[in-house]
Amino acid sequence: MDCLVCHDTTGKYKKPGPDAGMPAKDIDLKLIAQNVGHSSRATCGACHFNGGGGDAVKHADLSRQLLKPNRSCDIHMGGYDFTCTECHETRNHKIAGRSSSVPVVEGKVTCIQCHSEEPHYCGSVLDHHLNNHAKTLDCNVCHSPVFAKCKPTKTWWDWSKAGDKNRKPKKDKFGQPDYDAKKGEFKWEESVVPDYAWDSGYMKRVFIGDKVDMNSDVINLTEPVGSIHDPASKITPFKIMRAVQAVDADNEYFLIPHLWPRNKQDDTAYWKNFDWEKAFQDGMDAVGLEYSGAFKWKETWMYWRLDHEVMPADMALSCVQCHDSLKGDKTCNRCHQDNRDVDFKKIAHKGTDFSFMKSQGRDVEHLIEKTDYINFKALGYKGDPILHGGRFKKLPMGYEKKE
Amino acid sequence: MIKKIVFFSSLVLLTSGLCRAEVWKAPDQERAKERSKQVVPFIKEYKDDHKIARKMSLMDAGISLNDVQDVYFLMDSPIIKDREDHYGPVRFSHKRHANLAKDCSKCHHFRPKDEAALETTRCSACHQDAFNPEYPERIGLKAAYHQQCIQCHQEQAKGPVDCKGCHLQNVPDHKQLVQLPDNPDPFQVTAECLRCHDAQAEDMLTTAHWLWKGPSPYTTGHGKEVMHGKGTTALNNY
Closest approach of chain B CAs to the CA of A314, in angstroms? 13
Give mean pLDDT, residues B159-179: 93
Predicted local distance difference test score (pLDDT) of residue A402? 52
Output the CA–CA distances (angstroms, integers) from residue A398 to A208, A215, A361, A394, B23, in the order listed: 54, 46, 47, 10, 54
CA-nearest residue of chain A to B211? A104
Q: Which of B142, B166, B190 is the last residue in one of the domains?
A: B166
Residue B117 inside a domain? The answer is yes
Residue B96 inside a domain? The answer is yes
Residues of B in contact with A57 (CB under 8 A): 238
| B159 & B180 share domain | no
| B27 & B123 share domain | yes
Q: State whether residue B227 sits within 8 Å of chain A by CB.
A: no
* Tens-digit pLDDT profile for residues B120-163: 999 999 999 999 999 999 999 999 999 999 999 999 998 899 99
C-alpha–C-alpha distance, residues A342 and B135, integer Å: 51
| B223 & B148 share domain | no
| B51 & B136 share domain | yes
| B209 & B118 share domain | no
* Tens-digit pLDDT profile for residues A151-203: 999 999 999 999 999 999 999 999 999 999 999 999 999 999 999 999 999 99
Residues of A in contact with B181 (CB under 8 A): 30
Question: Of B65, B175, B219, which is closest to A121 when you measure between CB atoms?
Answer: B65
* Tens-digit pLDDT profile for residues A73-85: 899 998 899 999 9
| B99 & B155 share domain | yes
Say whether B193 sits in a helix, a strand or coil. helix
* Tens-digit pLDDT profile for residues A366-403: 999 899 999 999 999 999 999 888 898 776 655 555 54
CA-nearest residue of chain A to B171? A37
C-alpha–C-alpha distance, residues A176 and A187, integer Å: 9
Residue among A42, A58, A39 nearest A101 (CA): A58
Predicted local distance difference test score (pLDDT) of residue B4? 52
Scanning A254-322, the segments in alpha helix (DSSP H) are: 270-273, 276-287, 319-322
Residues of B in contact with A86 (CB under 8 A): 91, 168
Q: Which of B145, B166, B187 is the last residue in one of the domains?
A: B166
Residues of A in contact with B95 (CB under 8 A): 121-122
Residue B236 inside a domain? The answer is no
Predicted local distance difference test score (pLDDT) of residue B20? 47
Is pLDDT above 50 for B10?
no
| B73 & B149 share domain | yes
| B125 & B86 share domain | yes
Q: State whether residue B230 sits within 8 Å of chain A by CB.
A: yes
Closest approach of chain A CAs to the CA of B175, in angstroms? 5
A103 pLDDT band (50/70/90 cuts)?
Answer: very high
Contact across the interface for A202 and B220, Cβ inside 8 Å: yes
CA-nearest residue of chain A to B220? A204
Give mean pLDDT, residues A341-361: 90
Residues of A in contact with B207 (CB under 8 A): 92-95, 106
Predicted local distance difference test score (pLDDT) of residue A333? 86
> What DSSP assignment string belongs to A232-253?
T-EEEEEEEEEEEEEEETTT-S
Predicted local distance difference test score (pLDDT) of residue B18? 40
Contact across the interface for B218 and A201, Cβ inside 8 Å: yes
| B132 & B63 share domain | yes
Contact across the interface for B186 and A30, Cβ inside 8 Å: no
Evaluate whether A170 touches A179 at the Cβ level (below 8 Å).
yes
Q: State whether residue B165 sits within 8 Å of chain A by CB.
A: yes
For B215, the domain range is 174-228
Contact across the interface for A104 and B171, Cβ inside 8 Å: no
B19 pLDDT band (50/70/90 cuts)?
Answer: very low
Residue B16 inside a domain? The answer is no
Predicted local distance difference test score (pLDDT) of residue B123? 95
Give mean pLDDT, residues A195-217: 97
Residue B110 inside a domain? The answer is yes
| B179 & B133 share domain | no
Residues of B in contact with A115 (CB under 8 A): 96
C-alpha–C-alpha distance, residues B90 and B73, integer Å: 8
Is pLDDT above 80 for A20?
no
Give the residue from A104, A117, A150 with the most B CB atoms within 10 Å of its CB, the best one to mutate.
Answer: A104
Output the CA–CA distances (angstroms, integers) from residue A231 to A135, A226, A386, A392, B220, in the order listed: 8, 10, 19, 9, 18
Q: Which of B166, B194, B217 is the last residue in one of the domains?
A: B166
Is pLDDT above 90 for B27?
no
Say whether A196 sits in a helix, a strand or coil. strand
Residue A364 burial class via C-beta count within 10 angstroms: exposed 0-12, middle 13-18, buried 19 and up? buried
Q: What is the mean pLDDT of chain A?
A: 92
Closest approach of chain A CAs to the CA of B207, in angstroms? 6
C-alpha–C-alpha distance, residues A208 and A289, integer Å: 9
Predicted local distance difference test score (pLDDT) of residue A397? 58
Q: What is the mean pLDDT of chain B?
A: 89
Q: State whether residue A205 sits within 8 Å of chain B by CB.
A: yes
Q: State whether residue A334 sits within 8 Å of chain B by CB.
A: no
C-alpha–C-alpha distance, residues B89 and A380, integer Å: 46
Is pLDDT above 90 for B2?
no
User: Phi/psi class of residue B168: alpha, beta or left (left: φ > 0; alpha: ψ in -120 to 50)?
Assistant: beta
The three-point CA angle A291-A294-A299 to 5° equals: 100
Max CA distance (Å), chain A: 80
Say whether A127 sits in a helix, a strand or coil. helix
Question: Of B29, B219, B238, which is closest to A241 when you measure between CB atoms?
Answer: B238
The CATH number of the domain holding residue B161 is 3.90.10.10
Residue B141 inside a domain? The answer is yes
CA-nearest residue of chain B to A298? B237
C-alpha–C-alpha distance, residues A162 and A276, integer Å: 10
Question: Of B175, B200, B238, which is closest to A243 when you measure between CB atoms?
Answer: B238
Residue B5 inside a domain? The answer is no
Residues of B in contact with A79 (CB under 8 A): 23-26, 29
ipTM of predicted assembly, 2 dp: 0.91
Predicted local distance difference test score (pLDDT) of residue A334? 84
- Higher per-residue pLDDT: B154 or A350: B154
| B92 & B184 share domain | no
Residues of A in contact with B26 (CB under 8 A): 71, 75, 79-80
The rounded percent of chain A whose pLDDT value lies above 70 is: 97
Closest approach of chain B CAs to the CA of A394, in angstroms? 29
| B62 & B106 share domain | yes
Residues of B in contact with A122 (CB under 8 A): 95
Question: Of A33, A101, A115, which is closest to B96 when you measure between CB atoms?
Answer: A115
Is pLDDT above 70 for A237?
yes
Domain count, chain B: 2
Which segment of A314-318, A344-348, B107-111, B149-153 scores lowest on mean pLDDT? A344-348
Residue B211 inside a domain? The answer is yes
